Amino acid sequence: MISMHELNAQLKKAQKEILDYQKNCNHTKPAMKMNDKNEIKWHCTKCDMFIRIPTQKEVTEWLKR
Ligand SMILES: [Zn+2]
CA of 60 to the centre of ligand 1 (A): 24
Q: How far is the CA of 55 from the centre of ligand 1 (A)?
A: 20
Query: At residue 22, what are phi and psi to the nearest 5 degrees?
Result: -65, -35
Number of domains in the chain: 1
With residue 42 as reference, give the H or E element that holds it: strand 40-44
- pLDDT number for residue 23: 97
Spatial distance between the Cα atoms of 63 and 52, rounded to a whole number of angstroms: 17
First-last CA distance in the chain: 46
pLDDT value of position 20: 98
At 65 the pLDDT is 86
**For residue 2, what are the contacts with CB-CB under 8 A and spacing of at least 6?**
none
pTM of the model: 0.77
Q: Is the pLDDT of residue 61 over 90?
A: yes
pLDDT in tens, 4-52: 999 999 999 999 999 999 999 999 999 999 999 999 999 999 999 999 9
Ligand 1 midpoint to CA 30 (Å): 8
Rg over CA atoms, the chain: 16
Domain containing 39: what range?
Answer: 4-64
Confidence at residue 11, expressed as pLDDT on a 0 to 100 scale: 98
Ligand 1 centroid distance, CA of 33 (Å):
14
